[in-house]
Structure 1
């Protein structure tokens, strides 16, 4: 990782669908050198993937609700059961495991 890799990552975070030509121009590289660097960042796992950011209000889901759930047990099976239930619920977008006093 160097300063140019950092520039590439910043640009891709802002605009993941930027063309390689535009990205190369923004970071000051030739298109072939830029592509090699992006491919190396992907291969090393620094870039895990690309995604679409959706406007949920346009999809009829303009409300975000946070719910605290307590599990009846602390066994791995309890957590796996909860994870399976959440994976089967399409309206659930994210789950976070938070520890500490309430």
Structure 2
């Protein structure tokens, strides 16, 4: 399992970001290998997402697709940070399929 974390600043209002989160959420349901996505609002005023993938390959396929490529334009991203981590251990493995790396 792979965790992909994105954090960004946007020129859009909080209300518009929240609206876009809701409008676009449905599109993510059809992404192969995406186990979960959390939409975030940081106390710093930044926004972001935590993506839980079944594999790095699924994440990379998503990153080359149209939906991923549209993120910066749709959210009018001014600056962003991306980080990726492999899951080493899940506290509740019955809720997740964890593979050792």
TM surpasses 0.5: no
Higher fraction of strand: 2
State the TM-score, normalized to the length of structure 2: 0.30
Greater RCO, CA 8 A, separation 6+: 2
* Bigger Cα Rg: 1
